[in-house]
Chains A and B, each alone.
Chain A
Amino acid sequence: MTAVTEVKQLTVARTGNEAMAEAMRQINPDVVAAYPITPATEIAQIFSSFVADGLVNTDMVTVESEHSALSATLGAAAAGARAMTATSSQGLMLMAEIMPIVAALRLPIVMPEVNRAISGPINIHCDHSDTMFCRDAGWIQIFSENAQEAYDNVLQAIKIAENPQVHLPALVTTDGFIISHGMETIKILPDDDAREYIGAYKANYSLLNHEKPITVGSIDLQNYYFEHRIPVIEAMQAAKSIIKQVGKDFGEKYGRAYDLIEKYRTDDAEAAIICLGSTAGTAKDVVDALRTKGQKVGLIKIRVFRPFPVEDLTAALSTLKAVAVFDRSDSLNGYGGPVFTEVCSALFNSAQKPKIINYIYGLGGRDIDVHQIEAVYNRLNSIKDSKDVGDIVSYLGVRK
């Protein structure tokens, strides 16, 4: 905590879903279109009660599917409205077709999303396979460690997505049930401060101008598709510095600063775990416990997976000897998880890089505990100075 908190915040008890719905209430979007899906159902459900009580001005479009949810949200955003939706798992997969279109049209839609395993078999509990499935859709992806971060991240996502240098949609995720349904004490901004922070939305273009009618969503042939993809790619690159700036400003204003990655006790560390989401909280406790025993261990939490924080990660990893990448999904590429392969790819051209192993864990909500994480640190300590790292990809907590 670098800054003194000037704004008096409210301390409340909220689940992750409640925290995200609270952020949406303060954002007060013009349109929300959503469809229920466990464990994200509550977000739109709670928001609906805000609509019913007249606490927001939102037109709530209760669609018949997630595909229509994102389609209607896209339509609303193209009409110049601030529009949001929320979903999880199969719902996100059903939206998948529309997600890259939203990005290409440069519509800054923010979507709270609860990480849940994808079918099959059907499973309603947490892993990251849904979000990872959509990782190349052109959406910014921000992972939350707890309900506080979920709230903060939704507010920041609006600032990031709507920044003229970005104009990209953003997913803000929590871990299914672990965060979405876990009650925590969090701090929220007073409504007036939140609204001032969010500010008024000014769309880059709108369909609702009949004097200057525009055509949106044209078909590109070979002569323009490439030129239309480049700005999306460049916006994703530009988003990195904007995300950092927004996170820093948020810290200065409200005492909770954010970055693309969070380094926890890595300054003199030799071994570290890289993970996303709620596991970071558990791993931090293990780091603290091992530190009291004199072990030089730390943790790197990837808060923003898209854009992928290549520069920050390579810098953070340059001083480490051994790293275990935790993936809560498998790429089914025959070689580990998506976070692992991206971290390896980021490091390939670095002169200073640690040994890297990969753990796939927690699929379908399988619990991960401090003992398992401690065992991984023990392994990292044993391999950090040896030539042989053993199995590169391992599966944690599965019965074989």
Chain B
Amino acid sequence: MSFDTQKYTGTLTVSELPEGGIWTEPGSSLMRKTGDWKTLKPVWDKNKCISCMTCWAYCPDSCIKTEKVLNEKTGKEDVKNAGIDLTHCKGCGICAAVCPPKIAAITMEKAR
């Protein structure tokens, strides 16, 4: 998804705005880098992760990235965890908390 950065400088004029205050670029909040907020950051261990996707289900900021892969066993399309979008992650720690204890693929570390 790409957005025109010029539209997100907070300086659009009256004539540049769509009528009725509507906005026509769905998902534009991705232009806001909420990743700046965090004091802790999740560190994901690709080798430990079993792609159960529990972290995906509970991330409030839609930061668990996914990739579609072919499951060799079943021959069907599968989804794998593809890491964490730290640009938007606020460091809440939910992903680490819901990761199955026996797997523990995500740990929280100091962000800076």
Shortest distance in angstroms between B54's beta carbon and chain A's nearest beta carbon? 28
Shortest distance in angstroms between A186's beta carbon and chain B's nearest beta carbon? 35
| A107: nearest chain-B partner, CB-CB | B20
Interface SS majority for chain B: loop
Q: Which of B12, B13, B17, B20 contacts A216 (CB 8 A)?
A: B20
- Asked whether A205 lies within 8 Å of B14 as measured between CB atoms, the reply is no
Of B13, B21, B26, chain A has the most CB atoms within 10 Å of the CB of: B21
**B2-33: which have CB < 8 Å to A?**
10-14, 17-24, 26
| A220: nearest chain-B partner, CB-CB | B21
- Asked whether B20 lies within 8 Å of A227 as measured between CB atoms, the reply is no
- Asked whether B13 lies within 8 Å of A214 as measured between CB atoms, the reply is no
- Asked whether A228 lies within 8 Å of B26 as measured between CB atoms, the reply is no
| B27: nearest chain-A partner, CB-CB | A213
On whether A105 and B20 interact (CB within 8 A), knowing A223-B10, A227-B12, A231-B14, the answer reads yes
Digitize A203-221: 1 where CB-to-B-CB distance is under 8 Å, 0 elsewhere: 0110000001111111010
- Asked whether A216 lies within 8 Å of B14 as measured between CB atoms, the reply is no
A2 to B26, CA, bound (A): 52
On whether A216 and B22 interact (CB within 8 A), knowing A227-B13, A231-B14, the answer reads yes
Interface size range on A against B? 20 to 34
A105 to B19, CA, bound (A): 8
| A217: nearest chain-B partner, CB-CB | B21
A55 at the interface (CB under 8 A from B): no
Interface size range on B against A? 10 to 19
A230 at the interface (CB under 8 A from B): yes
A167 to B22, CA, bound (A): 14
| A226: nearest chain-B partner, CB-CB | B14
A106 at the interface (CB under 8 A from B): yes
- Asked whether B26 lies within 8 Å of A205 as measured between CB atoms, the reply is no
How many CB-defined contacts (below 8 Å) exist between A and B?
Answer: 48
| B12: nearest chain-A partner, CB-CB | A227
> Which residues of A have CB within 8 Å of B19?
106, 167, 204-205, 231
A4 to B29, CA, bound (A): 59
- Asked whether B17 lies within 8 Å of A205 as measured between CB atoms, the reply is no
A150 at the interface (CB under 8 A from B): no
- Asked whether A205 lies within 8 Å of B22 as measured between CB atoms, the reply is yes
- Asked whether A105 lies within 8 Å of B23 as measured between CB atoms, the reply is no
> Which residues of B have CB within 8 Å of A227?
12-14, 17
**A84-111: which have CB < 8 Å to B?**
104-107
| A101: nearest chain-B partner, CB-CB | B21
Shortest distance in angstroms between B91's beta carbon and chain A's nearest beta carbon? 24
Shortest distance in angstroms between A82's beta carbon and chain B's nearest beta carbon? 16
**A155-178: which have CB < 8 Å to B?**
167
A364 to B29, CA, bound (A): 52
> Which residues of A have CB within 8 Å of B22?
105, 205, 214-216, 218
Shortest distance in angstroms between A223's beta carbon and chain B's nearest beta carbon? 4
**A214-271: which have CB < 8 Å to B?**
214-218, 220, 223-224, 227-228, 230-231
Name the 6 nearest CB pairs between A and B, nearest first: A106-B20, A223-B10, A215-B23, A213-B26, A228-B21, A105-B20
* Residues of B bordering A, CB below 8 Å: 10-14, 17-24, 26
Q: List 16 A-B contacts (CB under 8 A).
A: A104-B20, A106-B19, A167-B20, A205-B19, A205-B20, A205-B22, A214-B22, A214-B26, A216-B21, A218-B21, A224-B12, A227-B13, A228-B21, A230-B14, A231-B14, A231-B19
- If A204-B20, A216-B20, A216-B22 are given as contacts, then 12 extra A-B residue pairs at C-beta distance below 8 Å, sorted by A number, are A205-B20, A214-B22, A214-B23, A215-B23, A216-B21, A218-B23, A223-B10, A223-B11, A224-B17, A230-B14, A231-B14, A231-B17
